[in-house]
């Protein structure tokens, strides 16, 4: 009997051989197997079986029609798109004309129809059902032909592998990294739906003519158990479960499939995009035989053959790639979101988390992104800190000092919130210099530890509010430690610091640690006497969101419901209840068994409360209109959805620049709902205007720009169909983005 290890090697070599012309397959096997005669013998035998199956497949379907046109279970096949080791993909249309869209028909090869192969094949359809993402090929359905051939019906993707797209299109380094980030977010969507791809490589990431990457081939993916993290499916019987050149060390050694495998696979793809080479190359057999201690080369030392030099890779990009390619999963990025986050920091000239902190490194980053200082706020902050120091030195009454500190804290937060464009600012102010000066003043408070801890928490909260999460974490960790030493581990100050630090950790993607901080804060707030209702509700709210981000959907829903019930018991139908209703709806948003009716009712209630308390033109009301419109869209009520989405757009238009990204996203939402609701001409005009504005303001590679181009193509195609002249192109889907205030 053939061993599992030998079987994996045999199937890998044979699949690689099948990708070559028939005349070259024998020579390829000889070279790939080298002196391993047993591997060569088994590979030749399996190759003969595969060629036999393909021959029978052609004989069965081609038939007498000289054009090669035939039908499969009600689908009229018009051409072959591709062929793999166990299936063939055809371009097809419905024979009955009920749906004019072309589809990709993936059919299991006739010679391979058995229980194991069929189970693996149909499992791909079960996995694809989980996804609603613009960068993952859409799944339409599955079935079995009268001849007993399982098939999957999918969105047809016409494109080239991502490495060819980058090279042939001569993409610059910035555009290449942005394109790769889109792929990271598609993989992250799969992980949030508990699916590990396990075979990430350029040939499974196609880039369409419009420049959009699409993630393909979930045939060897794993479904993860959200409760224990172990794979829900057993190891695949008799089939290769990896591509050695892109497989993680634990995959090669037969370890469990986890999301860390995909982090490693993305690291290999990024290495190849940056250098034009793979970190571990050679024949599949040679790659499989590499030792566990083999370390990947440093990308900048390999010698980039793209449109940039090795100097562009030295430093951050070397560090990011090598962390993703770490031999041990624990040494890699903890998630795909963390890898994407470090790339975003690199592109924004911010310090990346993978590099150890140093004064010189942070200083260089600061100098590269220096902008116009927010001088007025700087003066306010410096004066407030000076007043607080003076009050401490004068040793005023402790209760009065505490009230003053809280007032200062709230005032500071309001000042920095005013820099947020969503609250009416013009978006051109810069607060980094303000915060830097405030942080430096903290060093003058060594003899006043209580005030230093309070102001560290204030500055940490402000850093969090404007997205400086790494600095917020440093300040809040100091505040937590200081308050614990000064006031004891069960004090109200410690509870506040735990809650603030937990929010920052959640934003940084460290969801397990965030949950632990919120649980500790929740225990303190529940035991606190007298009880602080607002603080307790805030912790419940944050814990629900962190549990959701962690993937514990059941606990997240239970906590979100407890949060809403608690708010109702304290504030009845006050404005605080709107946050609980909105975030319960958000936690329900991505569950497969989501009750859309409950979601719609929760978003309607949020809108009603905010209208009553804020009036019709408040930014929070705009967010509520947007979220309700999104839920109605997914429910299929496109007319009412378009009404609420248009209302949100109108409110934002009153205080945002005409080409602000938030407003452009709102325009995209409205046009998509109009198109799906059948108002093709109106949607077409909006998409045309949106594309021009997005290209001008955001550039051709931005997500909003690409979505506008994609949906404009679909609107153009539908308009042509209505007029009787069909235009070529692949069908688009009108998925709306996640509600904008998903993390209230």
Task: Tell me how far CA of residue 661 lies from CA of 27, 331, 516, 658, 665, in angstroms.
Answer: 55, 36, 35, 9, 6
> In degrees, to the nearest 5, what angle opens at C-alpha 20 toward C-alphas 18 and 26?
80
pLDDT at 233 over 60: no
pLDDT given at position 432: 63
pLDDT at 474 over 90: yes
- What is the C-alpha separation between 225 and 223, in angstroms, rounded? 7
pLDDT given at position 430: 54
Structure tokens at 719: 């308009």
97-114 burial: b if 16+ Cβ within 10 Å, else e: eeeeebbbbbbbbbbbbe
pTM of the model: 0.44
- What is the C-alpha separation between 109 and 22, in angstroms, rounded? 18
Task: Tell me how far CA of residue 100 lies from CA of 67, 103, 727, in angstroms.
Answer: 21, 9, 12
pLDDT digits (tens, 9 = 90+) for 124-177: 777 777 788 889 888 888 888 877 788 888 888 888 999 999 988 888 899 999
Q: Of 472, 547, 553, 493, nearest to 516 (Cα)?
A: 547
Structure tokens at 688: 């045309």
Q: For 423-464, give the secondary structure using H, E and C.
A: HCCCCCCCCHHHHHHHHHHHHHHCCCHHHHHHHHHHHHHHHH
pLDDT given at position 42: 74
pLDDT at 727 over 80: no
pLDDT given at position 102: 87
pLDDT given at position 268: 95
Which of 34-43, 512-521, 674-683 holds the top average pLDDT? Answer: 512-521
Q: How many CB atoms lie within 10 A of CB 572?
A: 9
pLDDT band at 369 (very low <50, low <70, confident <90, very high): very low
Q: Identify the residue with better confidence: 394 or 61.
A: 394
Structure tokens at 341: 């986050």
Asked whether 332 and 324 are in contact (CB, 8 A), the reply is: yes
Q: Of 343, 365, 334, nearest to 505 (Cα)?
A: 334
Asked whether 498 and 452 are in contact (CB, 8 A), the reply is: no
154 forms beta bridges with 104, 139
Instruction: Look up tokens 């060629």; give the residue.
Output: 51
- What is the C-alpha separation between 550 and 655, in angstroms, rounded? 35
- What is the C-alpha separation between 666 and 649, in angstroms, rounded? 5
pLDDT band at 409 (very low <50, low <70, confident <90, very high): low
Point out the least confidently predicted range of 35-39, 514-518, 722-726: 722-726
pLDDT given at position 50: 44
Q: How many CB atoms lie within 10 A of CB 309?
A: 12
User: Percent of the chain scored above 90 by pLDDT?
Assistant: 27
Average pLDDT over residues 509-538: 92
pLDDT given at position 284: 62
pLDDT digits (tens, 9 = 90+) for 659-717: 777 788 889 999 999 998 889 999 999 999 999 988 888 888 877 888 889 899 888 98
pLDDT given at position 95: 84
Instruction: Look up tokens 């249309």; give the residue.
Output: 93
pLDDT band at 403 (very low <50, low <70, confident <90, very high): low
Task: Tell me how far CA of residue 701 lies from CA of 171, 385, 598, in angstroms.
Answer: 11, 43, 37
Q: Rg of the chain's alpha carbons, rounded to an integer?
A: 28
Q: How many CB atoms lie within 10 A of CB 541?
A: 26
pLDDT given at position 586: 86
Positive or negative, the CA dihedral 181, 182, 187, 192 is: positive
pLDDT band at 343 (very low <50, low <70, confident <90, very high): very high
User: Percent of the chain scored above 70 by pLDDT?
Assistant: 73
- What is the C-alpha separation between 124 and 160, in angstroms, rounded? 22
pLDDT given at position 342: 92
pLDDT digits (tens, 9 = 90+) for 179-216: 999 999 999 988 888 888 888 999 999 998 889 999 98
Q: Identify the residue with better confidence: 123 or 379.
A: 123
pLDDT digits (tens, 9 = 90+) for 57-82: 333 333 333 334 578 888 888 888 87
pLDDT given at position 270: 95
DSSP H/E element including 732: none
* 37-62 helix and 4-18 helix, angle to the nearest 10 degrees: 50
Structure tokens at 273: 């995009």
Q: Of 330, 326, 339, 247, nearest to 294 (Cα)?
A: 326
Asked whether 17 and 31 are in contact (CB, 8 A), the reply is: no
pLDDT digits (tens, 9 = 90+) for 554-613: 899 999 999 999 999 999 988 899 989 999 988 887 665 556 888 899 999 999 999 999
pLDDT given at position 497: 93
- What is the C-alpha separation between 221 and 137, in angstroms, rounded? 15
> In degrees, to the nearest 5, what angle opens at C-alpha 475 toward C-alphas 474 and 479?
120
231 forms beta bridges with 224
- What is the C-alpha separation between 341 and 343, in angstroms, rounded? 5
Q: Of 86, 120, 91, 112, nearest to 103 (Cα)?
A: 91
pLDDT at 6 over 60: yes
Q: Which runs of consecutive H residues, i.e. helices, occur in 25-101? A: 25-33, 37-62
pLDDT given at position 475: 93
- What is the C-alpha separation between 24 and 64, in angstroms, rounded? 30
Q: Of 251, 257, 157, 252, nearest to 212 (Cα)?
A: 157
- What is the C-alpha separation between 599 and 603, in angstroms, rounded? 6
83 forms beta bridges with 88
13 Cβ neighbours under 8 A, 6+ residues apart? 29, 32, 33, 39, 43, 283, 284, 285
Question: Which DSSP string do the residues of 616-651 spell out, in sequence order?
Answer: TT-HHHHHHHHHHHHHHHHHT-HHHHHHHHHHHHHH
Asked whether 288 and 9 are in contact (CB, 8 A), the reply is: yes
Q: How many CB atoms lie within 10 A of CB 511?
A: 22
- What is the C-alpha separation between 586 and 583, in angstroms, rounded? 5
358 Cβ neighbours under 8 A, 6+ residues apart? none
């Amino acid at each position: 009997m053939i061993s599992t290890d030998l079987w994996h090697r045999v199937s890998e070599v044979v699949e690689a051989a099948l990708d070559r012309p028939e005349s070259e397959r024998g020579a390829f096997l000889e070279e790939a197997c080298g002196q391993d005669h047993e591997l060569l013998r088994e590979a030749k035998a399996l190759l003969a079986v595969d060629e036999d199956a393909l021959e029978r497949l052609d004989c069965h379907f081609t038939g007498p029609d000289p054009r090669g046109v035939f039908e499969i279970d009600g689908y009229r096949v018009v051409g072959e798109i591709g062929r793999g080791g166990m299936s063939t993909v055809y371009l097809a249309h419905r024979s009955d004309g009920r749906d004019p869209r072309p589809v990709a028909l993936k059919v299991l090869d006739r010679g391979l129809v058995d229980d194991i192969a069929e189970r693996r094949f149909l499992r791909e359809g079960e996995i694809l059902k989980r996804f609603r993402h613009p960068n993952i090929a859409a799944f339409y359905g599955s079935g079995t032909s009268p001849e007993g051939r399982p098939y999957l019906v999918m969105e047809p993707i016409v494109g080239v592998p991502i490495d060819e797209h980058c090279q042939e299109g001569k993409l610059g380094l910035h555009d290449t990294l942005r394109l790769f980030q889109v792929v990271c977010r598609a993989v992250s969507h799969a992980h949030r739906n508990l699916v590990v791809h396990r075979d990430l490589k350029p040939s499974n990431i196609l880039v369409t003519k419009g420049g959009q990457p699409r993630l393909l081939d979930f045939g060897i993916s794993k479904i993860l158990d959200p409760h224990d993290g172990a794979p829900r499916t057993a190891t695949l019987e008799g089939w290769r479960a990896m591509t050695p050149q892109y497989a993680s060390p634990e995959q090669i050694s037969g370890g469990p499939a986890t999301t860390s495998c995909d982090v490693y696979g993305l690291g290999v793809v990024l290495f190849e995009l940056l250098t034009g080479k793979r970190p571990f190359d050679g024949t599949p057999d040679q790659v499989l035989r590499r030792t566990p201690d083999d370390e990947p080369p440093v990308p900048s030392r390999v010698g980039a053959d793209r449109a940039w030099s090795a100097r562009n890779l030295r430093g951050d990009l070397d560090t990011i790639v090598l962390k993703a390619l770490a031999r041990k999963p624990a040494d890699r990025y903890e998630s795909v979101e963390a890898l994407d986050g470090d790339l975003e920091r690199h592109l924004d000239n911010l310090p990346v988390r993978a590099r150890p902190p140093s004064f010189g490194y942070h200083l260089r980053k600061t100098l590269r992104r220096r902008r116009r200082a927010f001088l007025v706020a700087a003066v306010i902050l410096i004066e407030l800190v000076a007043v607080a120091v003076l009050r401490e030195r004068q040793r005023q009454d402790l209760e009065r000092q505490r009230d003053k500190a809280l007032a200062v804290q709230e005032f500071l937060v309001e000042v920095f919130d005013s820099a947020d464009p969503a609250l009416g600012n013009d978006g051109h102010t810069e607060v980094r210099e303000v915060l830097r000066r405030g942080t430096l003043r903290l060093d003058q408070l060594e003899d006043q530890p209580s005030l230093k801890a309070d102001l560290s928490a204030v500055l940490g909260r402000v850093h969090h509010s404007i997205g400086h999460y790494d600095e917020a974490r440093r300040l809040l960790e100091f505040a937590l430690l200081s308050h614990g030493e000064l006031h004891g581990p069960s004090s109200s100050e410690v509870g506040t610091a735990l809650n603030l630090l937990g929010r920052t950790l959640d934003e940084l993607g460290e969801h397990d640690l965030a949950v632990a901080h919120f649980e500790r804060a929740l225990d303190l707030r529940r035991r606190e006497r007298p009880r602080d209702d607002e603080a307790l509700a805030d912790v419940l709210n944050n814990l629900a969101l962190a549990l959701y981000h962690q993937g514990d959907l059941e606990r997240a829903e239970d906590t979100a419901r407890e949060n809403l019930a608690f708010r109702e018991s304290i504030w009845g139908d006050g404005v605080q209840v709107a946050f609980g209703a909105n975030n319960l709806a958000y936690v329900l948003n991505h569950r497969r068994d989501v009750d859309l009716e409950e979601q719609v009712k929760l978003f309607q209630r949020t809108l009603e409360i905010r209208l009553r308390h804020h009036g019709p033109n408040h930014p929070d009301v705009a967010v509520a209109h947007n979220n309700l419109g999104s839920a109605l869209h997914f429910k299929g009520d496109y007319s009412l959805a378009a009404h609420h989405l248009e209302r949100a757009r109108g409110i934002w238009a009153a205080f945002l620049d005409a080409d602000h990204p938030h407003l452009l996203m709102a325009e995209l939402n409205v046009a998509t709902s109009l198109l799906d609701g059948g108002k093709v001409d109106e949607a077409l005009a909006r998409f045309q205007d949106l594309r021009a504005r997005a290209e001008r303001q955001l550039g051709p590679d931005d997500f909003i720009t690409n979505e506008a181009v994609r949906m404009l193509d679909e609107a153009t195609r539908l308009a042509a169909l209505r007029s009787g002249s069909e235009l070529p192109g692949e069908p688009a889907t009108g998925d709306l983005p996640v509600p904008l205030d998903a993390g209230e």
